[in-house]
Structure 1
Amino acid sequence: MDALLNPTESTRGWRFTRETQAQPSLGHLNGSVPVLAGGHWLRRLMGFIGPGYMVSVGYMDPGNWATDIAGGSQFGYTLLAVILLSNLMAIVLQALAARLGIATGRDLAQACRDHYPRPVGYALWLACETAIIACDLAEVIGTAIALKLLFGIPLVMGAVITALDVLLVLLLLRRGFRTLEAFVIALLAVIFVCFGIQIALAAPPIQAVLGGFLPSSEIVTNPAALYIAIGIIGATVMPHNLYLHSSIVQTRAYPRTVEGKREAVRFAVADSTIALMLALFVNASILIMAASVFHAGGRTEVQEIEQAYELLSPLLGVGIASTLFAAALLASGLNSTVTATLAGQIVMEGFLHLKIPDWARRLITRAIAIVPVVIVTALYGDRGTAKLLVLSQVVLSMQLPFAVIPLVQFVSDRSKMGALVIPGWLKLLAWGIAAVIVALNVKLLFETIFG
C-alpha cells in the first residue's frame, strides 16, 4: 500500500490517479498473509509458499493432457525435451510476473491500464478475457470427462455440474487466502501421488527417459512432431497465469521497502520455481506414461484422454491404473477452475476497475464455456469435445504474446521498476523467449488455418 499511496523510485514511471491509488490488487487480501521478518531463511520462505503452487495449476490443467498424451504415444520420449524447454520458459516468465507485482505494487492488468492508451488497454483486456474463457473451456471438458470416467455421468450433465464450483471458490475465499492455497496444494498432492504410482506401474526404461530430455533433430525435421511440440509449448505457458501471479504475490505482508521487496522477490521466485518443477514432473509423467504404455505397445493412434483411460488398465494389467488417471484428471480440473476464477477477477478489476460479485462473474464465464461443450457434445458426441479441447489450446496460444510482451516491457523499464529492474542478461533472455513464443504461435496459427 505504501508504494501505491507514496510513489517512490520503483513507481515513478506510472500515471497515478485517485482511482488507482484506492484499489490495491485483490483489495482486502493484499498484504493479508503475515510473513516472518527475521529468523532462519527456511522459516521465512514458508511464509511465501503458496502463490507459486496456485500458478503451477495452469501448467498441468486438462488442456496439457491431450498434447502430452499425443506426443508420448506417437513419438515416444522424444518430446520430453520440449516439455523441459517450455517449463524453463515458464519459470522465467513467472519470475518476471512476481517481480513486477512486488516491485511496483501493481498486477499486470493494472500496469497495462496505467501504461497504455485506453483503446489498447481494452484490446488487451478482451484478449485476456478470451484466453480465460478458452482455459475455462478446457477445464469444463476435462472435469466433465473425469466425472464421466469415474461416475458414469454424461458429458453434458458433467459440464453443467462444473458451474457449481463457484460456490466452492466463494467458500474458500471467505476463510482466507491461506485456506484457498491449502486446498490447491492438497489437490496438487493428489495429482502428484496418482502419477507417481502410475509411473511406478509403467516402469519406463530410465535410459530412454533421460535421453528424451536431450533435444532431437526429429522435433524439427518431422512436421507432425513439430506441430505437437508447438502445441505442448502453447498449452504449457498460460497467459492468465502471468496476471494471476503478479497479483497474488502481493498477498504477503512483506515490508514495502526496497530491501523488503528484494527479499520478497527472492522468496517468491523460489516458491514458483519449486512449484513449476512439480508441474514439470506431472507433464513429463503424462508423456512418459503414454510413451511406455501406448507407444511401446504399438498404439500410436492414442491422442485423446478417454482413449488413454480405456487402454491404461488393459495394457498395464493393473485395474487401478485407469482410476488413478481419472482421479488426477478430476483434481486437475477442480484446481484449474479455482485459479481461473481468481485470474478473471484480477483481470476485470485491473483493466476496468469494475467489480462485480465473484459468483456472478464466475457464472458468466462458466456459462460461456459450457454452452459450446453442450452444443458440440449434442451434435458430434465425445470426439467433438476432444477437438474442442485442442481448439481451446490454440486460442490460448494465440493470446500469449499479448501478455508476455507487456510483461517483459515493464520489467525492463527502470522508470517503473527502479532498483528492481531486471539486469541486461535477463532482459535479453526474456525478449528471446517472447520472440520464440510469437514465432511459434504464428506458425501454429498458419498450420491450424491451412492444415
Structure 2
Amino acid sequence: MLNSIAKYLRQLGPGFITGVSDDDPSGIATYSQAGAQFGTSMLWVAMFSFPLMAAVQEISARIGRVTGRGLAGNLRRHYPPWVLYAVVFLMAVSNIINIGADIGAMAAALELVVGRDRWHLFPVAIGAGSAAALILLPYGTYASLLKWLGISVFSYFGIALFVQVPWAQVGHDLFIPKLSFSDDYLTMLVAVLGTTISPYLFIWQSSVEVEEQRADPEEEPVRRAPEQARSQFIKIRVDTYSGMAISNLVMFFIILTTAVTLHAHGVTQIDSAEQAAKALEPIAGRFAFLLFATGIIGTGLLAVPSLAGSLGYAMGETFKWPTGLDHKPYQATRFYAVIAAATLIGTVLNFIGVDPIKALIISAIINGIVSVPLLWILLLIARNHDIMGKFVIPRGLRIAGWVTFAVMTLAALVTVWNLALAR
C-alpha cells in the first residue's frame, strides 16, 4: 500500500503543479463571488469543467513530451509569425495584470493573518521572493518546492468541516444544473470558465514537461524514443488528471463554503479573495478564516511563478533564446530577465493606483478571448503528423479538445456581446 502511494506521488509533476496553480487568488475571488451571488446553483460548473480542463492540459503535456519543445516553440516552427506574436503579446498583457492582482491579494491576505499594516513591504517581498526562487533555485529543488506549496490548496477542503452543509441540496445542484440565462448568471459562468481554462496554463504545462524530460538523463522526446511512449503517456495522464481533479475540488469547496456561509447570510457581493476571507470570519469562525486566508497566500505563491515562467517560456521560444529553468541565470539571461521584469511590473501595478478588480476583469476578458485561437492551434498541432509523428492525440482526446474549444468560443462570444451592450 505504501509503495503504491509512493509510486503515485512520484508521478505527480507538471500536471499537479499546473492544477493547483490554477486556483490562484483571482480564481479564488471568482469562485467566492459565484458562491456568494448564486449559492450552490453554480456547483455543477466544477464537475462540468473537469474533463475539459483535463483534456486540454493532457494535450499540452503530450505536445511537450512528444516534440521536446513547448507550445510557443512549435508555433514558431510551423505557423506564421504574426500568429505567434499576437498570442504572446496578449498573453504578456494578461499575465502581468494577473501577477499584479495576485501579489496584491496575497499582500492583503497576509495583512489579515498577521494583523499588521505592512502594505508597502508585503507586495515587494512577495514579488521579489517569487522571482528569486524561480531564477536562483535549481529546477529539481524548485519543482519540489512547488509540490509542497501545492498542499496549501487542501485548506479549502478543511473549511467545510466548520460550516453546516445541506448535502442533499448540494447533491441536487451538482448533478441537476439550475441554469439561468440572466446577464449576471451568464457573466459569472463565463468568468468561472475563463479563470479555469487559461492560456498561460497551456504554455506552462507543455514547457515544464520539456523541463522534466531534460532533467532525467534516461528520457528523450517521445518522437526520438518511441519505446518510452506508453510509460510517458500513462505518467502524463495520472499527473494531469490528479492536478485537474484537485483544482476542481478546490473550486467546488470554495463555491460551497461561500454559498452556505456568505450567500446564506445575505452577503452576495465579493470583490476579492481577501474580502471573502474577511466576510467568512464572523460567520464560520476564526479558524475557517485563517484556512481561507492561508490558502490565498499559498496558491498565490504557486501562481505568480507559473504566470511569470509561462511568459518567459513563450518569449524565449518565440525569439529562440536559451530557455528553461534548468539553465543557470548567466546561461539564459534574457529568459530570466523576462521573468524578473514581468514580476516587477506586476508588483509596481500595486503602487500606481490600478484598480485590482478592474485589472482582474480585464485579465479575464483577455484570457477568455486568447484561449479560443490558442485552443484551435493546440488542437491543430496535436493532430499534425508532421509535428507529432505517429503520436497524434487519440480520437477521444481530440473530441474532448474540440468540445472545450466550442465551449470557450461560446464563452468568448458572450463576453464580447456583454461588452458591446455595456457600451
TM over 0.5: yes
Q: Which runs of 5+ in 1 are unaligned?
A: 1-39, 378-383
- Please name the residue that 1:300 is paired with: 268
2:170 to 192, 209, 217: 209
Q: Deviations over 1:281-300 (max 9, x none)?
A: 11111111100101112222
Contact kept in structure 1, 2:20 and 2:153, CA below 8 Å: no
Question: Is 2:307 aligned against 1:336?
Answer: no
Number of equivalent positions: 400
Question: Is 2:117 aligned against 1:146?
Answer: no
Q: Per the alignment, do residues 333 and 449 of structure 1 end up closer, same or farther by CA in structure 2, a change over 3 Å counting?
A: farther
Deviation at 1:387, TM superposition (A): 3.2
Question: Is 2:422 aligned against 1:445?
Answer: no
- Please name the residue that 2:326 is paired with: none
Contact kept in structure 2, 1:309 and 1:326, CA below 8 Å: yes
Q: Which runs of 5+ in 2 are unaligned?
A: 322-331
Q: Which amino acid aligns with 1:248?
A: V
- Please name the residue that 1:284 is paired with: 252
- Please name the residue that 1:197 is paired with: 158
Within 5 Å, which residues of 2 pair with 1:45-124?
46-124=9-87
1:261 to 225, 229, 233: 229
Quick one: distance in 2 between partners of 1:449 and 1:371?
Answer: 31
Q: Which amino acid aligns with 1:183?
A: L
Contact kept in structure 1, 2:101 and 2:356, CA below 8 Å: no
Question: Is 2:185 aligned against 1:218?
Answer: no
- Please name the residue that 1:352 is paired with: 319
Contact kept in structure 1, 2:95 and 2:311, CA below 8 Å: yes
RMSD over equivalenced CA pairs, Å: 2.2
Q: Deviations over 1:375-399 (max 9, x none)?
A: 226xxxxxx3233333322222222
State the secondary structure of the residue aligned to 1:204.
Answer: coil
State the secondary structure of the residue aligned to 2:333.
Answer: coil
- Please name the residue that 1:243 is paired with: 203
- Please name the residue that 1:436 is paired with: 407
Quick one: distance in 2 between partners of 1:308 and 1:432?
Answer: 33
Identity of aligned residues (%): 22
Deviation at 1:417, TM superposition (A): 1.6
Quick one: distance in 2 between partners of 1:141 and 1:390?
Answer: 15
Q: Per the alignment, do residues 41 and 411 of structure 1 end up closer, same or farther by CA in structure 2, a change over 3 Å counting?
A: farther
TM-score (norm 2): 0.88
Question: Is 2:132 aligned against 1:167?
Answer: yes
Quick one: distance in 2 between partners of 1:303 and 1:78?
Answer: 19
Contact kept in structure 1, 2:36 and 2:270, CA below 8 Å: yes
Q: Per the alignment, do residues 99 and 162 of structure 1 end up closer, same or farther by CA in structure 2, a change over 3 Å counting?
A: same
Deviation at 1:342, TM superposition (A): 2.4
- Please name the residue that 1:393 is paired with: 364
Contact kept in structure 1, 2:32 and 2:258, CA below 8 Å: yes
Quick one: distance in 2 between partners of 1:226 and 1:424?
Answer: 31
Contact kept in structure 2, 1:147 and 1:153, CA below 8 Å: no
Quick one: distance in 2 between partners of 1:275 and 1:120?
Answer: 30
Contact kept in structure 1, 2:96 and 2:308, CA below 8 Å: no
Q: Per the alignment, do residues 215 and 414 of structure 1 end up closer, same or farther by CA in structure 2, a change over 3 Å counting?
A: farther
Deviates more, 1:280-289 or 1:419-428: 419-428
Q: Deviations over 1:206-258 (max 9, x none)?
A: 12222222252433x23211110110000111211111111222323335422
Q: Which amino acid aligns with 2:209?
A: V
Deviation at 1:357, TM superposition (A): 4.7
Deviation at 1:47, TM superposition (A): 4.4
Q: Which amino acid aligns with 2:226?
A: V
Question: Is 2:148 aligned against 1:186?
Answer: yes
Deviation at 1:44, TM superposition (A): 6.2
Q: Deviations over 1:365-421 (max 9, x none)?
A: 1232233332226xxxxxx32333333222222221232111111111223222211
State the secondary structure of the residue aligned to 1:376.
Answer: coil
Question: Is 2:192 aligned against 1:228?
Answer: no
Contact kept in structure 1, 2:29 and 2:273, CA below 8 Å: yes
State the secondary structure of the residue aligned to 1:419.
Answer: coil
Q: Which amino acid aligns with 1:238?
A: S
Quick one: distance in 2 between partners of 1:131 and 1:313?
Answer: 32
Contact kept in structure 2, 1:134 and 1:395, CA below 8 Å: no
Q: Deviations over 1:153-203 (max 9, x none)?
A: 35454333332121122333x2xx3322221121221221x2122111013
Quick one: distance in 2 between partners of 1:357 and 1:154?
Answer: 32
Quick one: distance in 1 between partners of 2:4 and 2:76?
Answer: 36
- Please name the residue that 1:370 is paired with: 347
TM-score (norm 1): 0.82
State the secondary structure of the residue aligned to 2:175.
Answer: coil
Q: Which amino acid aligns with 1:131?
A: S
Q: Which amino acid aligns with 1:232?
A: V
Contact kept in structure 2, 1:62 and 1:332, CA below 8 Å: yes
Deviation at 1:57, TM superposition (A): 3.0
Quick one: distance in 1 between partners of 2:86 and 2:270?
Answer: 38
Q: Deviations over 1:308-336 (max 9, x none)?
A: 222212112x2222222111111111111
Deviation at 1:359, TM superposition (A): 4.8
Q: Per the alignment, do residues 47 and 299 of structure 1 end up closer, same or farther by CA in structure 2, a change over 3 Å counting?
A: closer
Quick one: distance in 2 between partners of 1:358 and 1:156?
Answer: 28
State the secondary structure of the residue aligned to 2:261.
Answer: helix
2:374 to 399, 403, 424: 403
Deviation at 1:113, TM superposition (A): 0.2
